[in-house]
Amino acid sequence: RRQLETAIAALAAERATSKMDARVIIQTEDFDLSAEVAALRAGDGGVGAVVAFVGTVRDRSEGAEISALELEHYPGMTERAIGSMIDEAARRFEIRAARVIHRVGTLAARDQIVLVAVCSANRGEAFQACEFLMDYLKTQAPFWKKEHGPNGARWVDARVSDDAALARWGIAAGGNAPS
């Protein structure tokens, strides 16, 4: 317990002194869900709900075996785009804090890829904001994914189901959120 508390304090201090937007982290390293959530809600007594989504690398895609997923991004542009997504979530929902951590590089099957965590006074707003951010992230964030398997590698195209999920928020795929 004490070790976790020390790790949380160090993580919160690192995020607070960082020159970049601590709401958005793009990294190759894995993340610790417990430490990230604790740091996100630290010091805010108004938080009544925390909702977190963790995405992982599947070992199959469209029936084919997947051994690894390679993720690329455009540094700077990706962080700004995700920061704008969080700003839009804050306009739509009563959230107190949000954080998106997305990994890049080559990840093995079952590795964690993404964390979307949202704090709110109430669970309904936190659930909606988390789902909104994930739907937005799947279609609008500038990431490129390549799946690797026994038959070679292939770039992953956007899925129609992801576009449909985004559309229910009033946002067209490839478009921006309404002002």
Q: Tens of pLDDT along 30-82? A: 999 999 999 999 989 999 999 999 999 999 887 788 999 999 999 999 999 99
Enumerate residue ranges in the chain where pLDDT < 70.
Answer: 1-21, 158-163, 165, 174-179
- Are β-strands 64-65 and 60-61 bridged in parallel, bridged antiparallel, or unpaired? antiparallel
Q: What is the pTM of this model?
A: 0.82
Name every residue whose Cβ is closer than 8 Å to that of residue 102 and which is 6 or more positions away in sequence.
25, 26, 27, 71, 73, 78, 82, 113, 114, 115, 137, 141, 143
Nearest CA to 97 out of 26, 25, 39 is that of 39
